[in-house]
Amino acid sequence: MSLTSIDAELLRNAFLAGAHNISNNKEYINELNVFPVPDGDTGTNMTLTIMSAASEIEAVEKPTIDLLAKAISGGSLRGARGNSGVILSQLFRGFCKDVRGKETLDVNDLTAGFARAVETAYKAVMKPKEGTILTVARGMFEKAEEICDFEDDVIAFIEQVLDYGNEVLAQTPDLLPVLKEAGVVDSGGQGLVEFMRGALAGLKGEKIELIETMPSAPMRGAGLLEEIPTARPKYPMGSGNDNISTADIKFGYCTEFIIMLEKELSDKEVEDFKEYLLSIGDSLVCVADEELVKVHVHTNHPGLAFEKALTFGALTRMKIDNMREEHSERVLIEAEKQRAEEQEAAFKQMKLERKGETAKKEPVAETPKKKYGFIAVSVGDGMCEILKGMGIDHVLSGGQTMNPSTEDILFAVGAVNAENVFVFPNNKNIILAANQAASICDDKNVIVIPSKSVPQGISAMLNFMEGASVEDNTANMKEAMETVKSGEVTYAVRDTSIDGKEIKNGDIMGISDKGIDAVGSDIVAVTTELIGGMVDEDSALCTLYYGADITEEAAETLSAQLSEKYPDMEFEIHNGGQPIYYYLLSVE
């Protein structure tokens, strides 16, 4: 078939087909991850990111390229998870910025969009690394630029771009030695190729059905492996409670919708809109950018919320759930209540920032805004208690088992009533999403301290000084973080080879800041070997946070053994309660 231009309907079909193809191949993409750890992998993160955008464009009733560009850009930006997801969202963001305002797209428009996409994505990464999704994206653009003057058939054009993308992908192991050793291509690059392959099929009129599967990761416990879902609600789910009365549900309708803005709202208009919604309900989540507003509110009058929203633009993705009815059927149970509490706290704090004003109904006592607030990402009841005991205002559930999205981090920032909010990602795969959230937030000064582990975040927090300036505290915390050696003990979920070590599925691994330092079949032996590689003549303290699969007695026994082996060092143990990782530890 021949095709000289793409209209809005074709663009939507292509994007959805590409999104579905990533989702359908996410486990294959996950398998390409070099580190065989049981965490939120590339395929899962890219799927959650792109399906956030897909759900936005599916709701566009009368598509134009402009409306689709807004939906793709906004949906992927807020839904971005992990480094791969953030980079993918930036590729889409750049492409969408360039194609807005056009009625159709030809090969020259696509080439210009690819150029803007690559430029935007490279700028989003502080230290771009070749041999990754960035390299594959740049290769596709370079091929597009090479052939756009000679090829006007969109199908033939995309076929050649995709073929060259596959060639560049095959070369990624030559650019990153760790890929060559593991015998894999870059997983993020593979994800991008899967998207382009699906998009091409969509342009050809082929329909790629979405295979509805929940991503999962193996959890080791009591000597057995069992499958547990890694997908989670935005906020930690509590245990069910059949005794909650429907009378406790003050606002009975969970109301959600998106406003496709006719024009960008000013900061005051956004705040006034939030104030109005809070006057007729609670549990407000209202995320606005220059093109659309996403709203979630509990209210007894959904029609009033819709009418007010219609003054700003057209509505889409409107959904109303009767929470009292659903509660009696145990659909929402405690998870809905907890999510409501989190979101209500977040946005009531936002409301209180308007000096001297409260909601028209139910005045809320205004609490003074602090100069500093703190958010940390972690998982495990014990670890959360430790962080809150240190002064962390909001612990965002996530980390190794699931990377929180940009929107999750924005919600957490909204929950902290402070002028300056420090964010500790505590995982290298969350730093980009945190930076993206900081760049979007315009009503607070958000500072990301790029901690790659919980121990690093704890060390940084210990060096915060209340009377110091933002700049001095930032410098002090970053400096303190760099003096901590971090380690973690977990298990392998696939066979691979890394750093000269052959690793089999189920092996215990000790991972330091430098890489995988110890591999074996015994948790104690691997932990001891890992610590041995981290300790030097200047080491004075080792702190161990034991996970959900380790008993306090086992941790105390290990601490005693280590104290005997290193008599000049102090060893501390704490109940972290984290899943998947038997021990998180630090040496300083």
Q: Residues 545-583, buried b or exposed e (16+ Cβ, 10 A)?
A: bbbbbbeeeebeebbeebeeeeeeeebebbbbbbbbbbb
Q: Which stretch of 15-29, 110-124, 320-334, 549-563 has the lowest confidence by average pLDDT?
A: 320-334
Q: Residue 37's pLDDT is what? A: 66
More confident residue, 269 or 234: 269
Q: Residue 339's pLDDT is what? A: 45
**pLDDT tens track for 350-399:** 444 433 444 343 444 456 788 999 999 988 888 888 998 889 998 887 76
Q: Residue 302's pLDDT is what? A: 82
Q: Which of 93, 449, 110 is nearest to 289 (CA)?
A: 93
Judging by DSSP bridges, how do beta strands 224-229 and 216-221 pair with one another?
A: antiparallel
User: Do 492 and 509 meet the contact criterion of CB atoms below 8 Å apart?
Assistant: yes
Kindly compute the dihedral angle of the four CA atoms of residues 270, 276, 280, 281, in this order, to the nearest 10 degrees.
Answer: 30
Instruction: Give, in order, the Cα–Cα distances in Å from 529 to each of 173, 456, 535, 559, 571.
Output: 30, 21, 10, 14, 15
Instruction: Give, in order, the Cα–Cα distances in Å from 383 to each of 177, 338, 387.
Output: 35, 19, 6
The three-state secondary structure class of 322 is strand
Q: Which stretch of 20-34, 38-52, 90-104, 282-296 has the lowest confidence by average pLDDT?
A: 282-296
Q: Rounded CA gap, 322 and 290, in Å?
A: 31
Q: What percent of the chain lies above the pLDDT cut of 90?
A: 41
pLDDT band at 401 (very low <50, low <70, confident <90, very high): low
**pLDDT tens track for 152-211:** 999 999 999 999 999 999 999 999 888 888 888 999 999 999 999 999 999 999 989 888
Q: Residues 527-544, buried b or exposed e (16+ Cβ, 10 A)?
A: bbbbbeebbeeebeebbb
User: Do 495 and 505 meet the contact criterion of CB atoms below 8 Å apart?
Assistant: yes
Q: What percent of the chain lies above the pLDDT cut of 70?
A: 82
Cβ partners under 8 Å of residue 526, min gap 6:
489, 508, 509, 510, 518, 519, 520
Predicted confidence (pLDDT) at residue 282 exceeds the cutoff of 90? no
Q: Which of 19, 12, 72, 56 is nearest to 294 (CA)?
A: 56
User: Do 152 and 146 meet the contact criterion of CB atoms below 8 Å apart?
Assistant: no
More confident residue, 61 or 244: 61
Predicted confidence (pLDDT) at residue 74 exceeds the cutoff of 90? no
Q: Residue 44's pLDDT is what? A: 86
Instruction: Give, in order, the Cα–Cα distances in Å from 238 to each of 60, 282, 335, 339.
Output: 34, 20, 6, 10
Q: Residue 151's pLDDT is what? A: 93
Q: Residue 141's pLDDT is what? A: 96
Q: What is the largest CA-CA distance in the chain?
A: 76
Rounded to the nearest angstrom, the gap between the alpha carbon of residue 69 and the centroid of all alpha carbons in its chain is: 21
pLDDT band at 526 (very low <50, low <70, confident <90, very high): very high
183: left (phi over 0), alpha (psi -120 to 50) or beta: left
Q: Rounded CA gap, 52 and 82, in Å?
A: 14
Handedness of CA 548, 551, 557, 559 (dihedral sign): positive
Q: Which stretch of 4-18, 178-192, 247-261 has the lowest confidence by average pLDDT?
A: 247-261
pLDDT band at 340 (very low <50, low <70, confident <90, very high): very low
Q: Residue 574's pLDDT is what? A: 92
Cβ partners under 8 Å of residue 105, min gap 6:
5, 6, 11, 65, 99, 113, 154
The pLDDT of 548-553, averaged and rounded, is 91
Q: Residue 575's pLDDT is what? A: 92
| DSSP string of 328-343, one letter each residue | HTTSSHHHHHHHHHHH
Q: For 322, how many CA atoms within 13 A lie in the half-sphere containing its CB?
A: 5
pLDDT band at 563 (very low <50, low <70, confident <90, very high): very high
More confident residue, 572 or 234: 572
Q: Residue 332's pLDDT is what? A: 39
Predicted confidence (pLDDT) at residue 419 exceeds the cutoff of 50? yes
Q: Residue 287's pLDDT is what? A: 67
Q: Residue 333's pLDDT is what? A: 37
Q: Residue 482's pLDDT is what? A: 86
Q: Rounded CA gap, 338 and 237, in Å?
A: 7
Q: Residue 366's pLDDT is what? A: 53
Q: What is the pTM of this model?
A: 0.69
Q: Residue 210's pLDDT is what? A: 85
**pLDDT tens track for 467-525:** 899 999 999 999 988 888 999 999 887 788 887 788 888 899 999 988 889 999 999 99
Q: Kindly report the number of other CB atoms within 10 A of residue 95's CB atom.
A: 23
Highest mean pLDDT among 10-14, 383-387, 537-541: 10-14
Q: Residues 254-290, buried b or exposed e (16+ Cβ, 10 A)?
A: bbbbbbbbeeebeeeebbebbbbbbebbbbbbbbbbe
Q: Residue 50's pLDDT is what? A: 93
Burial class (CB in 10 A: 0-12, 13-18, 19+), 356: exposed
Q: Rounded CA gap, 588 and 582, in Å?
A: 20
Cβ partners under 8 Å of residue 147, min gap 6:
107, 157, 160, 161
The three-state secondary structure class of 43 is helix
Judging by DSSP bridges, how do beta strands 253-261 and 313-322 pair with one another?
A: antiparallel
| DSSP string of 73-97, one letter each residue | HHHHHHH-BHHHHHHHHHHHHHHHH
pLDDT band at 447 (very low <50, low <70, confident <90, very high): very high
Q: Residue 363's pLDDT is what? A: 43
Q: Rounded CA gap, 310 and 472, in Å?
A: 46
Q: Which of 492, 481, 483, 422 is nearest to 456 (CA)?
A: 481
DSSP 222: T
Burial class (CB in 10 A: 0-12, 13-18, 19+), 354: middle
Q: Residue 1's pLDDT is what? A: 66
Burial class (CB in 10 A: 0-12, 13-18, 19+), 293: buried
Q: Residue 489's pLDDT is what? A: 93
Burial class (CB in 10 A: 0-12, 13-18, 19+), 64: middle
Q: Which of 481, 439, 440 is nearest to 461 (CA)?
A: 481
Strands (E), 492-561: 496-498, 501-503, 508-512, 515-520, 541-546
Handedness of CA 459, 465, 470, 472 (dihedral sign): negative
pLDDT band at 264 (very low <50, low <70, confident <90, very high): confident
Predicted confidence (pLDDT) at residue 232 exceeds the cutoff of 50? no
**Residues paired with residue 372 on neighbouring β-strands, in sequence order:** 420
Look over the chain and give the mean of its residue pLDDT values, rounded to a whole number: 81
Predicted confidence (pLDDT) at residue 403 exceeds the cutoff of 50? yes
